[in-house]
Amino acid sequence: MDKQNVQMNAPHPGTNLTGPPGYIGCPGPQAGYPVPPAGYASPGLAGFPVQHQPVTSHPGEPTQVSWMPAPLPPLNCPPGLEYLTQIDQLLIHQQMELLEVLTGFETRNKYEIKNSLGQRVYFASEDTDCCTRNCWGPSRPFTMRILDNMGREVITLERPLRCTCCCCPCCLQEIEIQAPPGVPVGYVTQTWHPCLPKFAVQNERREDVLRISGPCVACSCCADVHFEVKSLDDKYVVGKISKHWTGLVRELFTDADNFGIQFPLDLDVKMKAVMLGACFLIDFMFFEMTK
């Protein structure tokens, strides 16, 4: 071996040769750059972003929220609804507000929307003013804005002010679902019935697609409450919207509810978004009680 090759393969001064034959260790800092401080961690290979790895949280530390990865959007799918193409179940968890629990002052409702794996799919936030929330209570009109994991508003729900008396069939409850915001993709309208909660799930042309039927008494006393999603002829049950029992203390002193939505996997993503709107309408009509 000539002298030039020996110099090229020679280890740097102070290098600890603990590797296999030919291992020369890590080179020292280049000229002109300061020495990294103690505890410095390399950000990874150049050109590759640092991936967030799952970690184990310690008691008292906030846990990291896992977001559902965005699938490739199919054809004719409104932006942001591609998440719904791969799931047949949604879990909606309303967040508890300490101010509302302690004072009874009605605050804006906020919800986490997750898939069956517990990954967050969307985040929903009510957009109403203080006067509307505390004067109209559960009957209030509202705009619900649903955001994806990039913070983009992908679904907008609009509930107008309507009569809540079942004896008045001329002005029943309704909610409009827009995806993207400003583009209606469907409606959920209440169907008059003397004792049962019934709704029609409609497309953007206001044509009936599915029906929703609930129990005579929507009371969640130590049990879940189910609203069945049926075909137009009421012969087949194709899904359901369930209000989950959350425990005696939470049910008595808060109006923070948990819901589950089940629908066919191959259902049109627009109708899945409409089913999400139906869940929020049912929540406000039957379970959003002022404590």
**How do residues 200-238 score in pLDDT, each as one tens digit?**
999 999 999 999 999 887 666 777 899 999 999 989 999
pLDDT tens digits for range 59-109: 444 456 688 887 887 788 999 999 999 999 999 998 877 666 666 667 889
pLDDT tens digits for range 233-286: 989 999 999 998 766 655 565 556 789 999 999 999 999 999 999 999 999 998
Residues sharing a CB contact under 8 Å with residue 183, sequence separation 6 or more, in sequence order: 78
Residues sharing a CB contact under 8 Å with residue 222, sequence separation 6 or more, in sequence order: 245, 248
Q: What is the pLDDT of residue 139?
A: 87
Neighbours of 121 (CB within 10 A): 21
Residue 37 has pLDDT above 50, yes or no: no
Residue 12 has pLDDT above 60, yes or no: no
Q: Which of 43, 37, 10, 5 lies closest to 24 in space, CA to CA? A: 10
Under the banding of pLDDT at 50, 70 and 90, the label for residue 119 is very high
Query: Sign of the CA dihedral 93, 99, 102, 108?
Result: negative
Under the banding of pLDDT at 50, 70 and 90, the label for residue 35 is very low
Residue 111 has pLDDT above 70, yes or no: yes
Beta strands 237-244; 225-230: pairing state? antiparallel
Q: What is the pLDDT of residue 30?
A: 42
CA–CA separation, 281 and 111 (whole Å): 14
pTM over 0.85: no
DSSP state of 16: -
Q: What is the pLDDT of residue 216?
A: 82
Distance of CA 41 to the CA centre of its chain: 34
Residues composing the chain: 291
Under the banding of pLDDT at 50, 70 and 90, the label for residue 158 is very high
Residue 183 has pLDDT above 50, yes or no: yes
Spell out where 204-256 has E strands: 208-213, 225-230, 237-244
